Amino acid sequence: MASGFFVLLDDIAAIMDDVAVMSKVAAKKTAGILGDDLAVNAEKASGFASSRELPVLWAISKGSLLNKVIILPIAFLLSAFFPVAIIVILVAGGLFLAYEGAEKIFEFFFPHQHEESEGITNKTFTEEEILEAEKGKIKSAIVTDFILSVEIVIIALSTVVGKPILQQITVVSIIAIIATIGVYGIVALIVRMDEAGFKLIQISKKDKSFLKFVGNILVKALPLVIKSLTVIGTIALLLVAGGIFVHYIPYFHHVVPTINLPDIVKEFVVGLVLGFVVLGVVNLIKKILPKKTVTE
């Protein structure tokens, strides 16, 4: 009995070790999307009155958790009964990520006019207008989170396809928890940087004190951090998308290795090129559809 008990413990330890290794691999695979998720949510959670940033972020976080609850069971069922769907969703998601990255680059070089910002810090709004603006931003953030969550879950799941279902559930669930708690925890710290800076400035009694110096840095750093995350997130989108295409589309899987360039460069170029192809198709469809509605 004792020997059987220790064998069981050894088996459990081996399984946990496998889970830890696979979780590490899955985390590396999803790091790019997590970076973009961080950038997107930091941008969407900022721009509100200081007292409303955390409530808005909490509402988005709850929506993100609900997204994972919806996505995870569907992903596990597909993995068990229709595994080819995982690859299809992965490639389709890669096209979306490449499109997002290409669109951001195109918008940087050829900006077009946008509607007035949804932020609520420059004008005086009624309570109803503030709540309506919050609902709009929260809804937009949760929809974006859903799309990114699908990719995070599918990419994590692709690293454990063929493994026992218990290990699949454990590994992907760990990544889903990291993607929610980790990302939104960091976002909360980022969006409160300026508030922490203001408090340090208020505490400081001297004009040239260390606290005031640090406070000024925090206040000025917030927009720079968000812009930096946006750039890093865009690059990460294209790298993740390119990696998906190179590994899961046979043509690129056979052709790209023959090019004498570092893998990271090849994946970025593939993601960028296909991203602009999808962007061109989407823009063409946008131009055609209004004409059809007018003629009808």
Neighbours of 235 (CB within 10 A): 19
Per-residue pLDDT, averaged over 165-191, amounts to 81
Report the candidate in 87, 103, 111 with the shortest Cα–Cα distance to residue 281.
Answer: 103
Residue 10 has pLDDT above 70, yes or no: no
Give 46's pLDDT tier (boundaries 50, 70, 90). Answer: low
- The per-residue pLDDT for 291 is 55
- The per-residue pLDDT for 87 is 83
Give 139's pLDDT tier (boundaries 50, 70, 90). Answer: confident
What the block records as the tokens of 63 is 């929506």
Mean pLDDT of the chain: 75
Report the candidate in 170, 139, 165, 169 with the shortest Cα–Cα distance to residue 67.
Answer: 139
Report the candidate in 174, 162, 257, 194 with the shortest Cα–Cα distance to residue 48.
Answer: 194
Residue 19 has pLDDT above 60, yes or no: no
